[in-house]
Structures are given as C-alpha cells and as structure tokens.
Amino acid sequence: MYHILAADGIANEGIELLRKTFDVEVRDKISHEELLELIPKFDALIVRSASKVTADVLERAANLKIIGRAGVGVDNIDVQAATERGIIVINSPDGNTIAATEHTFAMMLAVSRNIPQANQIMHAGGWDRKKFIGVELRNKTLAIIGLGKIGAGVAKRAQSFDMHVIAYDPFVGAERAKNLGVRLVELDELFKTADFITVHMPLTNSTRDMIALPQMKTMKPTVRLINCARGGIINERDLATALQDKLITGAAIDVYENEPLAEDSPLRTLPNIILTPHLGASTVEAQIGVSVDVAKGIIDALNNKPVATAVNLPHIPAHVLEQLAPYLDLGERLGRTITGMSREPISSVQVKVNGKIADMNSSLISTAVLKGMLSAALDTGVNLVNANILAAERGIHLSEIKSSVARDFANLVTVSANGNIVTGTLFGNEGRIVEINNFRVDVDPHARILICPHINRPGVIGLVGTLLARHAVNISGMNVGKTAIEGTSLMVLTIDNPLPPHVLAEMKALEPIFDVTPIAYAD
C-alpha cells in the first residue's frame, strides 16, 4: 500500500478520498527538520504554501513519486530537482480561482474606501467620516497584469462596476482580449494611465520586481496597487518608500516575498496599505476544491495514469489527455520493442505520428517511447517526468515527425532506431503492433513475444513449435510471412510463459533460425 503525507492543513474531503485506497498520515504543522526525517518512507506528499520542498528534502525522498500542491503556485517546491528525480509535481490550478478573484476585488474595494482603517477607528470608539473619504470604482481605469483565469475573472467583475479595463499579457492575443472586453497595452502605458493596478502573474525571473520604484515613479499619484498573486512581483521595500513618500496613494497586499511577513517589515507601519495574511485561497469552498483536485491527481498518478495538472509535464487539457492516454501506453511498449530489437546502443530515435492524433499535443507520446526504451535498461525509476532528461544525459537524440495522413489505420505511431522500425495503433483502446520492419503483423504488446527471422522453407514453424512445447512454453499467437529479403521470412510468436535462457539458446541454435529477439512487456 502506498503511504501519503498530508501537510499544512489539507481539507478533510481530499484526505478521506485518499484514505479509501491509501495509507495517509496527516501533519497539519511540520517543521523542515521533521519533513527531512519523515519523507523517506512516503510515496506521495501534499503541501500548501507553508512546507518548503527543497532539494535536500527531495534528496532524502527515496520512495517519493508525486508532490501535490493544494493551490496554484509551486514556488515552495524545487520543481527542477523533482523533475530530475522523476517525481511528478501537480497543482490545483482551478480549485481556488473564484476565491482568489473575489479576494482581489475585496481588496480593491477595501483600499478604495478605507474600510479596514475605518473599522479600526470604530472599534476604538471613534467616529471620523471626513478622514476616510474614498473613491468610486466607476469610470476608473483598472490595469490587470496577467490575463489568466483569475485575471480574466477580475476583468469580468470590473466591467460590472463600470470600470475601464486595460491589460498586459504577452501570451494573450487580440481576439482573446476582445472577447474579455479588455484593451491590451504595453507596460509603460499601463503604469502611466491606471487608477488601480492588480497583478496576476506567476513569480518567475522575468516577473520578479516587475513593479519597483522606477515603475512607481511613472504612475499617477492617485494609483492603488493590489497583489493577491505572488510575493516578489512588487518590490516590498520600494513599495514602502513609494507609500511613505506619497508617490502612490495606497496598496492592498495579500502575498509576500517571505512568508510570514517579518514583524519589522516597513509595510506594517504604514497607514495607507492593507495587509492580509495570504487569504486569497482561504475560503471553505476553495480549500475543499484544491484538496479534492490534488487527491484525484495523486490517485491517478499512483495508478499509473497521466495527470492533466502536472506542472513538470507538457500542459495538455484533461479531455485531450484522456484521448492520448492509450497512445502513451502504446508508445512505451513500442519503445521497449525497439530497444529489444537493437543489437547496438541507441543514439538516435525517430517517432512518427500519423492521423488525427498528430493534431493534438502528441509530444508526450515521444516521451512515452523514451520511457519504454530506458525502462528496459535502467534500474532507476523512469517515467514521463524524467525520461527526456535521462535520454539527453545518455546522448539519445529524439526527432519527431507529424502527419495528419495515416495509411490503412486512423492513427499510427512508428518508432525507428538502429535500422529497425516498429509501428502500432489502437484497436478500440487496446494497443497493437501492426508492423515490424515493414512486415505486417498483429501483435499484442502486453504479452511476451519472440521475433524470429528465419529461412523461408517448410518445417520451420513445426521445428520451433516442437522445441517450445518440449519446454512447456505455450504459444498463444503467431504471425509468419515473407520479408523483403528473398528466401527469408519473419515469425512473431506470442508466448504465455517466460522463456528460460537455455531455451532461448536452443532456439537460436536451430539451423533455419537467424536470430531470436525476446520482448517482455509484462510489468
């Protein structure tokens, strides 16, 4: 049974879902030292933002197969180190979308009407209406940096407040922006014209300190900044300076470069900033949503199913991934076949995809082929996460060809290496090998097969059948036919039993047999 560690206070709904199948240990609060000590025995880890899954943690994670982040950002996980170790990292990109969107708007309203400050005065026994005169959102320009799901949700709500919405996102086209009712602008124009600026970008090298003192000096003195995305996008010390020197009017911040926010942070002393302790995803509904999303992803991963929310795999929509899944299994088995057929180390492999699947993001099929090739040779765990890295480390060059045209079948996957070619397709959802070195076959790649080129003459089939029967090896399927080489045929046998080495040697010693290649697909 797999063992799962749930840290950082994961909602019970996801925990109970996992407990139906796995052993789950819950540690709502766990120190880094405790995590280092505990991690070797676990197959899966779930965290929120508190636990830091660093390289030293991963180095001790001997059994870890997947890390689930119950939320969107994975800043607290060393994704590169996880990828190198073949550990899948998943998140929950949709579970807290509404919560984060609504919190952004709550912060915008709060900073525009001075609600927290007024509330504090009231609780202290005061009454000062003139001190807390605010501004309306109507007819103001809201600038959104990042038009993902949350940014788009904020844009939609802003329009219901009669705001003018502009946005910057280098990955969003004009058509998408038009559908959202948003005008795309460059950052310089955005900073100069906005009355409110809200950021909804991930923290990367290019977005870190995206808004610092030089940018703040170009803004209207009446501007208000909101950050419910990631700490570090707005430079905190520069923000404190801009607020103190009245370069900008106000700010509302929910996320920080280092959390929890230091007690001596200059932001804590300023009256014109609203601070919340990373509450963007802190709703009952969001916590349940991200918990269940991550639990489902872990269940799929531990059952060897692809996970649509993996952040260290190519992003493929769930409905497309569902269609690709049986081709991933087929690709892996074609990879095992081509490795078994090769007498020399493989330095170059070509994967050709024909048919409708060529129009999908089929790069993962090529990764599955590499996984199959390497799994037969490496003791270390090979999966869809690290297969490309392991192949590159071993000097294996991968080339991919796509074509929407497929002969004879709706879809085909063909793998070529070291002069050998193997082609497969699906019959329903079951993978089949339909061609080996230009010889038409019908082979189940979930069994054990023997590939036997031989002299084309009477009696060869009987000779092989008699030998295998003598050693109690049952033949469950056979394909025999002429090859392109005159006087030779190819026999492909499906057998039900493991082939002992001495029997393999006897087969190879038969005078009409050129060679025998055993391929074992059974896991």
- Helix/strand/coil (H/E/C) assignment for every residue in 396-447: CEEEEEEECCCCCCCEEEEEEECCEEEEEEEECCEEEEEEECCEEEEECCCC
HSE at residue 415, side-chain half, CA atoms within 13 A, is: 33
Is residue 275 within a helix (H) or strand (E), and if so which, with residue range? Answer: strand 273-275
For Cα atoms 371, 372, 376, give the angle at the middle one, nearest 5 degrees.
110
> Where does a domain end: 397, 420, 446?
446
Say if 134 falls within a structural domain.
yes
Please report the pLDDT score of residue 8 as a whole number. Answer: 92
Indicate if 59 belongs to the active site: no
* Alpha carbon distance 383, 373 (integer Å): 11
Give the tokens for residue 475: 């033949």
Q: Is residue 142 part of a domain?
A: yes
Domain extent at residue 197: 97-275
- Same-domain pairing of 215 and 361: no
Please identify, among 388, 420, 446, the residue that sits at the C-terminal boundary of a domain: 446
pLDDT at res. 412: 95
Domain harbouring 184, CATH code: 3.40.50.720
Give the per-residue pLDDT at 203: 83
What are the phi and psi torsion angles at 423 (to 5°)? -125, 140
**Residue 420's pLDDT is what?**
92
Q: Is residue 452 assigned to a domain?
A: yes
| Residue matched to tokens 């493991």 | 498
- Identity of residue 68: G
Order the strands of the 517-520 sheet from edge to edge: 475-482, 488-495, 448-455, 517-520
Catalytic residue (choose from 103, 278, 432, 448): 278
Question: Is there a domain that residue 190 lies in?
Answer: yes
pLDDT at residue 170, as a whole number: 84
Based on the residue annotation, tell me whether 257 is a catalytic residue of this protein: no
Whether 141 and 257 share a structural domain: yes
Catalytic residue among 189, 259, 400, 506: 259
Residue type, position 355, single letter:
G
CB of 114 within 8 A of CB of 134? yes
Q: What are phi and psi of 45, to 5 degrees?
A: -135, 135
Residues 383 and 435 in one domain: yes
Does 230 qualify as catalytic in the annotation? yes
In order of 95, 291, 300, 309, 322, the CA distances from 294 in angstroms are 9, 5, 10, 9, 18
Predicted pLDDT at 470: 93
Question: Is 72 in the same domain as 101?
Answer: no
Catalytic residue among 69, 103, 164, 230: 230
Residues 121 and 238 in one domain: yes
Q: Which residues of the chain have pLDDT under 70?
A: 315, 376-381, 522-523
Q: How far apart are the first and last CA of the chain?
A: 17
If one counts every other C-beta atom within 10 angstroms of the C-beta of residue 457, the result is 10
Tell whether 308 is covered by a domain. no
pLDDT score, position 489: 87
Same domain, 127 and 194: yes
Q: Are 197 and 175 in contact (CB under 8 A)?
A: no
Structure token pair of residue 117:
């400050």
Distance in angstroms (rounded) separating the CA atoms of residues 96 and 247: 33
Do 481 and 434 share a structural domain?
no
DSSP 22-82: SEEEEESS--HHHHHHHGGG-SEEEE-SSS-B-HHHHHH-TT--EEEESSS--TTB-HHHH
339 and 464 belong to one structural domain:
no
310 in a structural domain:
no
Whichever domain contains 492, its CATH number is 3.30.70.260
185-211 burial string, b = 16+ CB within 10 Å, else e?
beeeebbeebbbbbbbbebeeebeebb
The answer to whether 42 and 22 have CB atoms below 8 angstroms apart is no
Same domain, 259 and 369: no
User: Is there a domain that residue 307 lies in?
Assistant: no
On whether residue 311 sits in a domain, the answer given is no
Among 403, 421, 446, which residue terminates a domain? 446
Say whether both 154 and 254 belong to one domain: yes
Say whether both 107 and 181 belong to one domain. Answer: yes
Number of domains within the chain: 4
227 and 150 part of one domain: yes
Kindly report the CATH number assigned to the domain that includes residue 358: 3.30.1330.90
Q: What is the pLDDT of residue 479?
A: 87
